Amino acid sequence: MNNNYKKNEFRPIIGIDFGTTNSAVAYIRNKKPQILESANGGRVIPSVLLIDLGDNVVVGKDALDSLVAMPDRTVAAVKRRMGSNNPIYVSGRDLLPQEVAALILKELKKSVDALFGEGEKEAVITVPAYFTDAQRRATKQAGELAGFVVERIINEPTAAALAYGLNNLKKDGHILVYDLGGGTFDVSIVELMSGILEVKASTGNNFLGGEDFDWKLVDWLANKIINMHNVDPRGDIRAKALLKKEAENIKIKLSSEETVKIIIPVVTVKDNQPIGLSTRIKRREFVNLIDDLLQETIELTKNVLKDAELSVGDIDEVLLVGGSTKIPRVYELISDLFDKNPRDGINPDEAVALGAAVQAGLKSGALPTSELIATDVAPFSMGVAVLKEWKLSRLKPGGFAVIIPKNTTIPVTRSEEFTTTYDGQTEVSIEIYQGEHEWVSNNHKLGEFLLGGIPANHVGKEIIEVKFRYNLNGILEVQAECVSTGKEMTITVQDALDRGSQKSFEESMEKIKSIYKEREEEIEDREDIIYSDEDIDDEGIDSEQSWESLIEEADTYIKQLNELKGIMEEKQQKQADKLIRRLRKAIENENDVQAKIEDIIDFIIDLTL
């Protein structure tokens, strides 16, 4: 690949809302985000996969319609299983959650290819703000397996706020984004200040959403049949799927009707006789079934206000995002809590995808970066395992020492000093965790490494400095250094593009290829694709202009760093000079410029804190 590639390449970039129930794609057209309709004309498609009797991959409405007839060949709500290593059995195959997700995302890519033509496409994919590291990495991998170059993962409430912020650049105030989707709940508080959008706090529950409401209705319907016929239909896989589909329809109808009549001619069979159901349900009965779950979302909303150190009166706008916010009871609860009605005019099914497109537009240059700037926060606390006081001052291993607290604005660099724990200790294990519990056994392990070469000394005499750097691309870099010797070790433990292992990624890719019965080029060969002027849509980005903008941005930060040298200590000045040299070398080689700019941004933020 020649050195002119970075300047001359063009790669369309789009935003994807990969949802539990539905998914959508958006892109920037005439400096505005726009939903990209699927081949069948829908603005969103059901996130359902079917591998039919002919081993054809079917995604969307047709797959959704097959849930009852072919439940063993159909998968829905896979988003809830992201990050798990437990395979999903479908049509005689064991597929990992990210592989199922990739097959769904491949359907979305068809619409993108139809608009932009064949070739590589970059994507910004949204996830719940409370997704763990493993869930985020699985989502990234799904996008790559589907054929996208996944540029960034962003939080869904942040994306919705971006869509709002683009149309309200001159407004200032605090916005609360209440995001209740098909499988997850998130709530975030964002401050908008003349085009600067800063996330103040986020929280949520990855297993609370419309799916849970559906299953409450399934249980209600099943109990009706049990009481009338003394048979539990949930033991029949097809009957259970039928009740689930009926529950979804009931839930939707109850958003506009006070009472819904339910007629299901055949649910299951008992003693060779068909068992059906005819009944009614009132909206207040449905609300009673799900009210404990809705109250949990209200408690989480109160918690995020507390985390942001704000009161309900400090919130200027409330945005309702996610299909489950169409339930009237949600509107009532939010209106009562904030003593104001949520903002109208926002499509809860499309806001997240539109916001993802805004992020894509900011990255690509299709939208002016000077008009809207967004920051986000770390969704979980991150730290290391330490000895901790326990029961009458005894020290017990497995305590959690937080280095980057939850809701810290990113990018961020933080460090803490620790000491050796016994005489003659010459190495120390650095175990990295993510979570909020004081004991690491209740948190999520991200990785570990061993720092050796520590001089043998008395307990507590050798100091180990542990530094965490968490940047905008979702990468956590951990460095440990023995202060007395300067010996250090660095590990990247949370890489948004990490695939666990190249071997497992290739195995997943081969599995997907075999399902489609086609041989595609290896993913590594995609680097050789060069786009000509004819490949570029009129709405696309002038890549030369994007490169010039990047160089202009680099020059701005070099100038800013030089101006700040007057307040730096000698050691900081040397580090600043090193960062400037690295950035200039990156520009010269036309490689990794954005990463070097972000290093300087991290340094400036640390300097000014």
* Contacting residues for 397 by C-beta, under 8 A, at least 6 apart: 385, 386, 387, 388
Can you state the angle between helices 283-307 and 328-338, rounded to 10 degrees? 40
Which neighbouring-strand residues pair with 172?
193
Catalytic residue among 79, 109, 200, 363: 79
Helices (H) and strands (E) in the chain, counts: 14, 27
Bridge partners of residue 175, in order along the sequence: 190, 317
Q: Could you confirm whether 79 is annotated as catalytic?
A: yes
Of 99, 133, 144, 156, the catalytic one is 156
C-alpha closest to that of 383 among 436, 337, 422 = 436
Tokens at 139, concatenated: 């989502």
Q: Let me know if 386 is exposed, middle or buried by CB neighbors in 10 A (0-12, 13-18, 19+).
A: middle
Among the listed residues 17, 99, 376, 431, the single catalytic one is 17
Helix (H) or strand (E) holding 587: helix 570-589
What is the gyration radius of the CA atoms in the chain, in angstroms? 26
Q: Nearest 5°: phi and psi at 98? A: -70, -25
Judge whether 17 counts as a catalytic residue.
yes
Residue pair 140/152 in contact (Cβ under 8 Å)? The answer is no
CA-nearest of 24, 15, 67 to 45 is: 24
Please, what sign has the CA dihedral across residues 271, 273, 274, 275? negative
Helix or strand run (H / E) with residue 416: strand 412-419
**Residue in 191, 186, 133, 198 with CA at minimum distance from that of residue 156:** 186
Active-site residue flag, 248: no
The residue among 429, 178, 128 whose CA lies nearest residue 294 is 178
- Which burial class, exposed, middle or buried, applies to 221 when counting CB atoms under 10 A from its CB (0-12, 13-18, 19+)? buried
Which residue in 151, 179, 214, 317 is the catalytic one?
Answer: 179
Coil vs helix vs strand at 300 = helix
Closest CA to 361 of 191, 149, 163, 81: 163
Q: Are 464 and 428 in contact (CB under 8 A)?
A: yes
Residue 501 sits at φ, ψ, to 5 deg, of -155, 145
Do the Cβ atoms of 90 and 74 come closer than 8 Å?
Answer: yes
Residue 574 a catalytic site member:
no
Find out whether 443 and 453 touch, Cβ atoms under 8 Å: no
What span, in angstroms and rounded, lies between the C-alpha atoms of 65 and 170?
Answer: 45
**Which residues are part of the catalytic machinery?**
17, 79, 156, 179
